[in-house]
Amino acid sequence: MAIIKVQAPVAGIRGTVGGITYSANKSGPYARAWSRGANPRTDFQTAQRRSLSTIPALWNALTGVQQAAWDTFAALAAQDRTNSLGETFSASGYNWFTICNTRLINIGRSTITATPVIARPASPTVSSLQLPFLDAQIAKITYPSGEWTASQDQVIEIGVVNSTGRTVEPTNFLQLLLDQAPPDTDNVFRVPYLDRWNLAGTAYKGFVRAYRQTAEGIRSAAGTANFISTDSAAYAATADDYDGSTNYGLRGADYTTNANSKLTIFSAWFRVDGGAGTIREFLGNQAGFYSFAINASNQFQVFAAQPSGASVIQYNSTSTFPVGAAWYNVITAFELEAGTVQLVIDGVAETPTLVTGPVDTAADWTRADQSFGARVAGDRFFDGCISDLYWNNAEYLDISESDNIGAFISPSGEPVDLGADASFPTGAIPILAVLGGDPSTNIGYGGNLVNQAALSACSSAP
């Protein structure tokens, strides 16, 4: 490689001519012999090539009038682009047709033939980036509340450097997340981390670029920020002790804005201290139209009925949970319309044993009372400790994906911080989220329950 110097009227040289590649780095301009680059065949690279391969046929299917309209669109000053020398230039109509439709294909939207009419959106504001280290596998990006609307898609890029003092963006940005139409109530997004980088450490810094993208493939300028890595694995869960006879919570009414549905995401950490051979409930409602429990065979069990009382689903785990000092985590999710039922025990997928269903009918979650740690009738008491119980009956989460499992349990088998409003797993606040195990402090939207006897702290925590 040779260092070169340019003078007026030449401002810079980029590209390859005659087998010589001209470029520049922080040390200045240079020239080197051209060589074929690596072909890592990443998932994103493969998807990009697949998208590009479809564009010529789409362009050729346009009429001459449509192609001319794209040329006119491309010539507008609003569509000017910037090259590697920092100079603006106008791309062709075909280039813009390719840019917009590749973006739409990659995010899962339909391609367009007419030129875009939606104005370029403003860049988003990034409030924070939690770049984890140790064994955490999910980075978290936070925006101001209401930053996103349903008419905008989200594109995220992150670059990581081993220097907390660096202020200049790195060149290793990778596109991590394409999120179609985030709801306007979402302000926290989970980003897969370990599948793109090795573990970071305390001396690392993450740079984030966030873009708004319209339904026509027009993208905003980047909203940028940078943050030093933090140990998100340092979250310390707490737990409360249920004595198997008096400790449980009652809502005294239905949960606020509760609604029947065909969906559920449930997760709980627990230790079993007694009650072997009996049913011990985590959650239930008046007249027992649903139940999350440990059954008489010491298996995890889920039951839900429709308003008529007929079961829409009942299933058990194969794993059993004996009395002892061990802590366990259960995650389960179902989507009755699709007939999907999933179960994960201590971070490992397990095939649930179906007793009834699934039936494509909404479960009856809505009753005049709701219970935590026992049945509403005052029996089936849980005997043991409960920590970080989460229930969302308005959404489904595919827990066959490791990233989604990682929203509840870390690779080392420890609880994950669900966030101040427990919106971390899906981006939305659930109906019930009890950090620790005290249902009188529900950070979900369903409202607090009333403890029927005073709880005490558990002697251990997960």
Query: Does 239 have pLDDT greater than 80?
Result: yes
Nearest to 58 by CA among 116, 100, 108, 91: 100
Residue 136 near residue 235 (C-beta atoms within 8 A): no
Distant-in-sequence contacts of 445-448, Cβ < 8 A, 24+ apart: 445/256, 445/257, 446/251, 446/255, 446/256, 446/257, 446/258, 446/370, 447/251, 447/253, 447/255, 447/256, 448/251
Query: Does 155 have pLDDT greater than 50?
Result: yes
> Which pair of tokens denotes residue 375?
């049945």
Q: What is the torsional sign of CA 457, 459, 461, 462?
A: negative
pLDDT bin (cut points 50, 70, 90) of residue 5 is low
pLDDT bin (cut points 50, 70, 90) of residue 261 is very high
What would you measure as the largest C-alpha separation in the chain, in angstroms? Answer: 87
Q: Residue 340: what pLDDT?
A: 97
pLDDT bin (cut points 50, 70, 90) of residue 254 is very high
pLDDT bin (cut points 50, 70, 90) of residue 288 is very high
Q: Which helix (H) or strand (E) holds 103?
A: helix 93-107
Q: Residue 380: what pLDDT?
A: 96
Q: Find residue 162's DSSP bridge partners.
A: none
Query: Does 192 have pLDDT greater than 60?
Result: no
Q: Residue 201: what pLDDT?
A: 59
Give the pLDDT mean for 59-77: 94
- CATH numeric code, 128-234: 2.60.40.10
Q: Residue 188: what pLDDT?
A: 57
Interatomic CA distance for residues 22 and 32, integer angstroms: 7
Query: Does 130 have pLDDT greater than 50?
Result: yes
Q: Residue 154: what pLDDT?
A: 86
Give the pLDDT mean for 133-154: 70
Q: Residue 45: what pLDDT?
A: 59
Q: Residue 391: what pLDDT?
A: 98
pLDDT bin (cut points 50, 70, 90) of residue 339 is very high
pLDDT, one tens digit per residue, over 347-378 is: 999 999 999 999 999 999 999 999 999 999 99
Query: Does 42 have pLDDT greater than 50?
Result: yes
Query: Does 282 have pLDDT greater than 90?
Result: yes
Give the pLDDT mean for 261-268: 98
Q: Where are the domains of the chain?
A: 2-33, 43-107, 128-234, 240-457
Domains 128-234 and 240-457 in one fold:
no
> Which pair of tokens denotes residue 122?
């403003």
Query: Does 414 have pLDDT greater than 60?
Result: yes
pLDDT bin (cut points 50, 70, 90) of residue 175 is confident
Residue 131 near residue 170 (C-beta atoms within 8 A): no
DSSP string of 35-73, one letter each residue: -PPP----HHHHHHHHHHHHHHHHHHTS-HHHHHHHHHH
More confident residue, 131 or 226: 226
- CATH numeric code, 240-457: 2.60.120.200
More confident residue, 152 or 361: 361
Query: Does 29 have pLDDT greater than 60?
Result: yes
More confident residue, 135 or 362: 362
Least confident stretch, 107-121, 172-186, 316-330, 416-430: 172-186
pLDDT bin (cut points 50, 70, 90) of residue 135 is very low
Q: Residue 184: what pLDDT?
A: 47
Q: Residue 143: what pLDDT?
A: 81
